[in-house]
Structure 1
Amino acid sequence: MPAPTLAEQDLRCSFCTKPKDEVAKLIAGAGVFICNECVQLCAEMLKEIAESEATPAPQAVPDVKLPEIPEVPWPDAMTDQEILDFLPRIAAVGAQVDANLKVWVERLRDRGVTWARIGAALGTTRQSAWEKFSGEE
């Protein structure tokens, strides 16, 4: 079976997990994706950090208050329930990475690349790669 096309894949932002159909742009990385909305949020956060670290000039520009930027919760500041609520998001990204890896392996198989080479690239055996990605039992 050939690898699915990009249009056929259930691609999601690895940060907010929104599907590709709910965002204007999805940018690909190594098995992960980031949407234009999360890129914008990152840009705003970086701008806020840069502005707070910059030494003000003698004739400083008037202070402009940026909108409140939500931060990613960190486990040491989260309750048990917040961590439990966060687990599905992490699992969804993990499932997306696994599905994307399978697609890349299928592309290599479509090109005739051997299971031995695929296994070696993944640091595993030919047999383990075949068992994980072939879809056969």
Structure 2
Amino acid sequence: MSPERSGEDREDPRSQPFMCSFCLRPREETGVLAAAPTAAICRDCAAGALKLLEAPRPAAPGPLPATPWDALSNDELLERLPRVAEARDQVEEHLRRWVDVARGRNISWAVIGSSLGMSRQSAWERFRSGVQPHSQT
């Protein structure tokens, strides 16, 4: 596990995830989020996951929906679409930060592009402007 970030860094809103990766509720609604490089989880989802992991396994588990949206009504699906789009934006911003760090270490666009499965030119065109500030309206 990596060392804990300084209190000053934790207070910087730019360093905090914007929403829970599991329920897609915004940080303003969930409160503190435990974050990893590609995901964040709120207290409620963490408690639910812990219950699930601590529960005895059923002898014959019931069928699970093939996809998360199979269990949703049309209204529930439409309600979640904006949250999924915001999650996409959060992932894109996070990727830009990683690319910025790579560029700060003088890693070439060719190597960055190769690691992302794209050409040097594509990587440069997509990431050359660096991290865009997240607008929170």
Aligned partners of 1:23 and 1:37 also within 8 Å: no
Distance in structure 1 (CA, Å) of the matches to 2:26 and 2:35 = 13
**Match for 1:118 among 88, 112, 122?**
112
Q: Matched residue of 2:48: which SS?
A: helix
1:28 has 2:36 as partner: yes
**Match for 1:19 among 5, 21, 27?**
27
Taking structure 2 as the reference length, the TM-score comes to 0.66
Bigger RCO of structures 1 and 2 (CA < 8 A, at least 6 apart) = 1
Distance in structure 2 (CA, Å) of the matches to 1:14 and 1:42 = 13
* One-letter code aligned to 2:72: M
* One-letter code aligned to 2:17: L
Distance in structure 1 (CA, Å) of the matches to 2:68 and 2:116 = 30
Q: What is the root-mean-square deviation of aligned Cα atoms in Å?
A: 2.7
Distance in structure 2 (CA, Å) of the matches to 1:33 and 1:45 = 18
Aligned partners of 2:96 and 2:127 also within 8 Å: yes
What aligned pairs does 1:88-107 form with structure 2 within 5 A after superposition?
88-107=82-101
Q: Which structure 2 residue ranges, 5 or more long, are not aligned?
A: 1-8, 60-66, 131-137
Taking structure 1 as the reference length, the TM-score comes to 0.66
What aligned pairs does 1:1-137 form with structure 2 within 5 A after superposition?
7=12, 8-12=14-18, 13-16=20-23, 17-19=25-27, 23-29=31-37, 31-48=38-55, 50=56, 53=58, 74-135=68-129
Percent identity of equivalent pairs:
34
Larger radius of gyration: 1
Q: 1:20 to 1:121 in 2, by over 3 A?
A: farther
Number of aligned pairs? 111
* One-letter code aligned to 2:15: Q
